[in-house]
């Protein structure tokens, strides 16, 4: 009887009159095909000397010459290094701040206070970098910016945050962490909500304080979630944030602030070197794929996390 019921339920799931559900998927599938898969045909430009007036079909094939030029180009190595440095710093400090905030806010028992704090720290995530870029440019202006006026009041010389290479790196990382740490904590808060309260009760009976509970219960229980977050972050290690960098950087900080995406924008769209910029983008995608596959294997070994 039970087996018959299972088979019957299986038939219900596979009923032919569920065509309406598949019909609802058509718009999403079309969007993915048009805006994700169809543009991949343009990747052939990475192996061509593409000329717009010749088109993709009639442009000359050059094989791997564009990729060779990528590593011979004077600025390429510096741009790749800048991207890795900015992305890794963002990932590290973003992960630490997000996890730390989640642990702290999880201990707040007053619902009104907790909701108020979460609302304020979530808000920056929903602001565009176009808006925030304009705000930071005004706030960090070395002559009239509020930040430098406060520093001058404290007897500190004005700092050109967006014009000095070292300070620009600090500004980019800290502003990204400030913008995203609140929203990113949602994943960790959800993971904490799933921890069995009996574990904390047993720890309290054994005399464990808050710190010991976090160290021996909360953090170990969140290892799978942390592994997922880090795995997904590694896939973006060559994506240091085009929107942010583009709205904050200037020629004075190209040495340490120019990343792959802004480099591709300038070389590909501004200078018209479409084949070279396509090769750079393809190189970035391949490296990101290798990194996320490697991170997935590590997550599987360390935290027994697997998708399939």
The pLDDT of residue 11 is above 50 = no
Q: Is residue 11 part of a domain?
A: no
Closest to 47 (Cα-Cα) out of 276, 227, 221, 294 = 276
Residues 278, 268 contacting (CB under 8 angstroms): yes
Q: Is residue 3 part of a domain?
A: no
Which residues are CB-contacts of 43 (< 8 A; sequence separation ≥ 6)? 278, 282
Q: Does residue 199 belong to any structural domain of this protein? A: yes
Helix ranges restricted to H, 140-253? 146-153, 165-193, 197-205, 210-213, 219-221, 223-234, 242-248
Percent of the chain whose predicted confidence (pLDDT) is above 70: 92
pLDDT at 244 over 70: yes
Strand, helix or coil for residue 157: coil
Which range marks the domain in which residue 92 is found?
Answer: 50-303
Q: Tell whether 1 is covered by a domain.
A: no
For 304, counting Cβ atoms within 10 Å of its Cβ (0-12 exposed, 13-18 middle, 19+ buried), the class is exposed
Lowest mean pLDDT among 185-189, 269-273, 281-285, 301-305: 301-305
Which candidate, 297, 267, 304, 289, places its Cα nearest to that of 79?
Answer: 267
Domain count, the chain: 1
Asked, for residue 269, whether it belongs to a domain, the answer is: yes
pLDDT band at 265 (very low <50, low <70, confident <90, very high): confident
Sign of CA dihedral 293, 298, 300, 303: negative
43 belongs to a structural domain: no
CATH at 238: 1.10.3720.10
Are 240 and 83 in contact by the 8 Å Cβ rule? The answer is: yes
Q: Would you say the pTM of this structure is higher than 0.75?
A: yes
Lowest mean pLDDT among 39-53, 98-112, 138-152, 221-235: 221-235
The DSSP secondary-structure symbol of 48 reads E
Residue 155 lies in a domain: yes
**CA dist 151 to 62, 132, 140, 173, 290, Å?**
55, 21, 11, 20, 45
Contact 274, 50 (CB under 8 A): yes
Is 30 part of any domain? no
């Amino acid at each position: 009887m039970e087996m018959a019921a299972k088979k019957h339920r299986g038939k219900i799931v596979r009923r032919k009159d569920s065509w309406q559900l598949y019909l609802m998927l058509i718009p999403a599938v079309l969007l993915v095909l048009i805006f994700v898969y169809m543009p991949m045909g343009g990747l052939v430009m990475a192996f061509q000397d593409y000329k717009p007036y010749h088109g993709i079909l009639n442009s000359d094939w050059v094989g791997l010459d564009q990729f060779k030029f990528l590593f011979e180009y004077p600025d390429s190595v510096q741009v790749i290094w800048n991207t890795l440095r900015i992305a890794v710093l963002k990932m590290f400090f973003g992960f630490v701040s997000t996890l730390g905030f989640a642990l702290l806010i999880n201990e707040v028992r007053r619902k009104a206070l907790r909701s108020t704090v979460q609302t304020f720290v979530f808000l920056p995530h929903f602001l565009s970098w176009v808006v925030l870029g304009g705000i930071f440019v005004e706030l960090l202006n070395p002559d009239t910016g509020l930040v430098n006026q406060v520093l001058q009041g404290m007897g500190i010389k004005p700092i050109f945050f967006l014009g000095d290479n070292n300070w620009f790196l600090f500004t980019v990382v800290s502003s990204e962490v400030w913008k995203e740490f609140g929203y990113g904590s949602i994943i960790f808060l959800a993971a904490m909500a799933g921890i069995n309260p009996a574990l904390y009760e047993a720890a309290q009976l054994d005399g464990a304080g808050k710190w010991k509970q976090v160290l021996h219960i909360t953090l170990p229980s969140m290892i799978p979630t942390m592994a997922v977050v880090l795995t997904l972050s590694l896939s973006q290690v060559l994506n240091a944030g085009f929107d942010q960098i583009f709205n904050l950087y200037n020629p004075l900080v190209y040495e340490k602030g120019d990343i792959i995406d802004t480099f591709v924008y300038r070389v590909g769209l501004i200078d018209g070197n479409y084949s070279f910029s396509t090769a750079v983008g393809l190189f970035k995608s391949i490296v990101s794929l290798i990194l996320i596959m490697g991170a997935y294997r590590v997550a599987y070994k360390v935290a027994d996390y697997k998708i399939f």
